A and B are shown apart, each in its own frame.
Chain A
Amino acid sequence: MSAYLRLAGVNKTFGNFTALGHIDLEVEKGEFVTFLGPSGSGKTTTLMVIAGFEKATRGEITVADQSLAHLAPQERNIGIVFQNYALFPHKTAAENVYFPLQMRKVGKKEGMKKAAEMLDLVGLKGFAHRLPKELSGGQQQRVALARALVFEPDLLLLDEPLGALDKNLREQMQIEIKRIQKRLGVTTIFVTHDQTEAMSMSDRIVVFSNGAIEQAAAPLDIYHRPATRFVADFIGESNLLEATITDAATGKAHSPVLGEVTCGAEGLPPLTDGQAVSLLIRPEHLKLSREPKEGRQNAQMVIETIVNYGDNAVVIGHAGDQQIRVRVPGADVVILKEGDSCHFSWTADAVFVLDK
């Protein structure tokens, strides 16, 4: 199966500044892909290049093997939901949704009927005649989504659409967007800097940093098998420790903090003896105990801070100069005290090796 959306060597410079280095990406039809990265990493620029608001300096973008190069934004048939929704304040919800149809010369009667159906789909039945300012943030968001979908676009682009919503509403909208996207089967690109959002919604996550793609993979692959130190650090909480490979064949490494470590996680990159690496151990894969635990690899740390989340807690401690984060069940926290010395332990399959 060939890719539906293809970016080949897309490069974008503003004067001396390189916003996008060399972006290669393929997206399947119906796929939900998230562009994740810190601000200024190039994710929004890539979106704008796809939408046609920015022109790529070099490279090519195709949708269904048709080049977009000579198409104005108006001709690309792409639905976009902007960060601030960009609803027309002088038009009602229904008129907003009708607008792209109106531009496509769809008659008022038929168009308004379609708009009403779309508003129905996004759960806004009965709000058709409200002006945007009479709608809540979440409702405005739904109108924007309906408007971007009503003309059956080839692509749906969402530019940090949930940024302005509070946490509960945000989670609700994540589920909602995912439901609608699945139902319509529209190929979707979702831009966010929120990793939990990316994790929960995407078929695939593309991690951006400094105008380049660090990794493009399924959410769990990104989490468990990060391609670079940046990805490991950016996605989820992580303990990253300096180490040197001592025996590549058996996956042995030496870390100044942990001592002798056996690395056993799946999908390790090829290693050589003497190679300087970073070891990744996720906080939830560490356990705390008073005494060293039998059958696990152990090291010692001093507890510095305990951050309680109710159902779980993060214990932050120090082993030498190295900060160690351990996620423990909430019930375990009561027996721990700041300033206590304790052991933390892990198993070989929790240790993932990254190029330094």
Chain B
Amino acid sequence: MGLSLSALAERKTLWPWLLLAPLTIYLALFFLVPLVEVAIMSVTEPRPGLANYEKVLTGSLYRKVFLNTFGTALLVTLCCLLVGYPLAYLMSTVSKRAAMGILLLITMSFWTSFLVRTYAWMVLLGNNGPVVWLMQTLGIAEPPPLLFTRFSSTLAMVHILAPYMIMNIYTVMQKIDPSLIRSAESMGAYGKSLFRHVYLPLTAPGIANGSVLVFVICLGFYVTPVLLGSPREQMAAGLIGNQIEQFLAFGLGSAMSIVLLVVTLVILGIYHRRFGLDKLYG
């Protein structure tokens, strides 16, 4: 005698939950609980009330930092797109082997620690670094400061985030049916109009996926802008770090974190309604 059918069905429905349990418990303990604590802190520290939020939402320093954060994230996303789209296109046109080679080169930076990559930029862009030396050799007597500027932090963040953009766009480009392009050609579409009317709309989902991913990750960037960026152009995560580490203003830091989280969720929400979050992972 075997198991009855309903028992089998029950076992089947139980399995996925069992498999999910370790991760769920882990996330609940080490992510959800602290997050709730942060939320509570934001309305209780140093005293109960919404004073922290009032400060964050109306204070000119905070507004400046938030605007700067969005500006930087937008700039980084745009740069990633400009760098990533042609590269992804190249990958989709070469042989599978060559594409894998390029992908390997692109993702190589993932294998290096975050800090090492950041310090590498410091060496490259520093006052005695090769870039400054090259500029001087080319006759620029007083090269503009490169390090600790918006330029250096943007450059480093684009370097780190571009692979996300490239992989998202490449995945979509690779799936485009070549007969769609042929059929467009047979109907008289050349380079520019072929791109505008057919190729770009077909790759739009990849652009949307990559952009949302890069933008959202960039919003919360901490190490890179703190170490490489201009102190005058702080990003939200850096300021939160300051509040907590230097001023011990746990409540204010928490309130900023929550605001950043809510904004991020709103962006993801809008994306979800428009494209569906499930598409984000191909």
Seen from chain A, the residues whose Cβ lies within 8 Å of a Cβ on chain B are 51-53, 72-76, 78-80, 82-84, 86, 88-90, 99-100, 102-104, 147, 151
Seen from chain B, the residues whose Cβ lies within 8 Å of a Cβ on chain A are 177, 179-180, 182-190, 193, 197-198, 201-202, 204
Neighbouring B residues of A82 by C-beta, 8 Å: 179, 182-183
Extra inter-chain contacts (18) besides given A82-B182, A86-B182, A151-B188, CB under 8 Å: A51-B182, A51-B186, A73-B182, A73-B186, A75-B188, A76-B186, A80-B182, A80-B183, A82-B183, A83-B179, A86-B180, A86-B183, A88-B180, A88-B198, A99-B189, A102-B197, A103-B187, A151-B187
Least CB distance, B274 to chain A, in whole angstroms = 14
Does more than half of chain B's interface fall in helix, strand or loop, or is it mixed? Answer: helix
Least CB distance, B61 to chain A, in whole angstroms = 45
Most chain B CB neighbours (cut-off 10 Å) among A75, A78, A80, A147:
A80
Q: Which of B177, B188, B197 contacts A74 (CB 8 A)?
A: B188
Neighbouring B residues of A102 by C-beta, 8 Å: 197
**Is the CB–CB distance between A79 and B177 below 8 Å?**
no
Q: Which of A51, A88, A89, A103 contacts B193 (CB 8 A)?
A: A103
Neighbouring B residues of A88 by C-beta, 8 Å: 180, 184, 198, 201-202
Q: Given the complex of chains A and B, what is the CA–CA distance between A236 and B188 in angstroms?
A: 40
Neighbouring B residues of A100 by C-beta, 8 Å: 187-188
Least CB distance, B197 to chain A, in whole angstroms = 7
Least CB distance, A67 to chain B, in whole angstroms = 18
12 contacts between A and B (CB under 8 A): A53-B182, A72-B185, A73-B182, A75-B188, A80-B182, A82-B183, A86-B183, A88-B180, A88-B198, A88-B201, A102-B197, A103-B187
**Is the CB–CB distance between A74 and B180 below 8 Å?**
no
Q: Given the complex of chains A and B, what is the CA–CA distance between A90 and B275 in angstroms?
A: 13
Least CB distance, A324 to chain B, in whole angstroms = 44
Contacts A83-B179, A100-B187: A90 and B193 contacting too (C-beta < 8 A)? no
Q: Given the complex of chains A and B, what is the CA–CA distance between A52 and B190 in angstroms?
A: 14
**Is the CB–CB distance between B189 and A103 below 8 Å?**
yes
Contacts A90-B201, A99-B197, A103-B193: A84 and B179 contacting too (C-beta < 8 A)? yes
Least CB distance, B95 to chain A, in whole angstroms = 15
Q: Given the complex of chains A and B, what is the CA–CA distance between A79 and B185 in angstroms?
A: 10
Neighbouring A residues of B185 by C-beta, 8 Å: 53, 72-74
Least CB distance, B190 to chain A, in whole angstroms = 6
Q: Given the complex of chains A and B, what is the CA–CA distance between A102 and B198 in angstroms?
A: 12
Q: Which of B179, B186, B198 contacts A79 (CB 8 A)?
A: B186
**Is the CB–CB distance between A80 and B186 below 8 Å?**
yes
Q: Given the complex of chains A and B, what is the CA–CA distance between A103 and B183 in angstroms?
A: 12
Neighbouring A residues of B177 by C-beta, 8 Å: 84, 86
Neighbouring B residues of A86 by C-beta, 8 Å: 177, 179-180, 182-183
Neighbouring B residues of A90 by C-beta, 8 Å: 201-202, 204
Q: Which of A51, A74, A83, A84 contacts B190 (CB 8 A)?
A: A74
Which residue of A has the minimal Cβ distance to B181? A86
